[in-house]
Amino acid sequence: MLKKVQETTAYIQSKVSVKPDVGIILGTGLGGLAKDIENQQVLSYGDIPNFPVSTVEGHSGRLIFGQLGNKQVVAMQGRFHYYEGYNMKQVTFPVRVMKYLGIKHLFVSNASGGVNPDFEIGDVMIINDHINLLPNPLIGPNDKEFGVRFPDMSQPYDHGLIALAQEIAGKHGIKTQIGCYVGTTGPTFETPKEYQYFRIIGGDTVGMSTVPEVIVARQMVIPTFAISIITDLGVPGKIVEITHEEVQRIGMQAEKKMTLIMEDMLQRL
């Protein structure tokens, strides 16, 4: 794994001049933030050695380098998921590469289903914890170059970044929720009883990504901020049939709020 990470990092560095301070992972329907990146240098996933390829609609499959919020950034316009058939090492491979490219912070976004009855479609939720129902990406031999065998997870999402996001949201009059994200395998959307179960065990939203990436970021000691757009509701009396296209549509509608918060945060890092 280490050799592949080093090989991929060397290839990327030979193709782009940007040395990123911040890594950004853009979720379903949330790729629009990429258009705000200035002086772009773009690589397609298919051209990068050892990189998987996005197969999900709404995930463009490009690595975008440039400036955003006065910071040098690298943004994944499209991520990889366990349900696509990739193993957890592949799903989280880009996080390790971004660390070797030099990032000091990781920003992650996703679209999710709200199970908290106080949530509404289109809400923005800052993630302060998660429940992992996916295979753990650290299972298997551990390379000490990547971090410790047993990473601490008492603060998976950086408290300072959360406080900064809340301050910025308040300044702009953006309503935000804060809560726990439940990561599941997918690709099916949840049954009513599954929604109920996720709420009982402490979840506020549920989705099919993010958690593996954050676990690897924590092992590599990358302070992480994550934000989720509520695109559907798993609340009794509010559950309706949902499609991937609808998730993308609502995500794109709400992403302006997410983009404003994240860009302002980058200005103040």
For residue range 172-199, list pLDDT tens digits in order: 999 999 999 999 999 998 999 999 999 9
From residue 150, alpha-carbon distances to 132, 156, 210, 216, 221 in Å are 16, 13, 19, 11, 12
What stretches in the chain show pLDDT beneath 70? 28-31, 55-60, 240, 244, 247
pTM of structure: 0.93
Please give the CATH topology (third level) of the domain spanning 2-268: Rossmann fold (3.40.50)
Which of 93, 184, 194, 79 shows the shortest CA–CA distance to 132? 184
Which of 24, 76, 73 shows the shortest CA–CA distance to 51? 76
Residues 6+ apart with CB under 8 A from 120: 114, 230, 233
What pLDDT is attached to residue 240? Answer: 64
DSSP state of 262: H
What pLDDT is attached to residue 30? Answer: 66
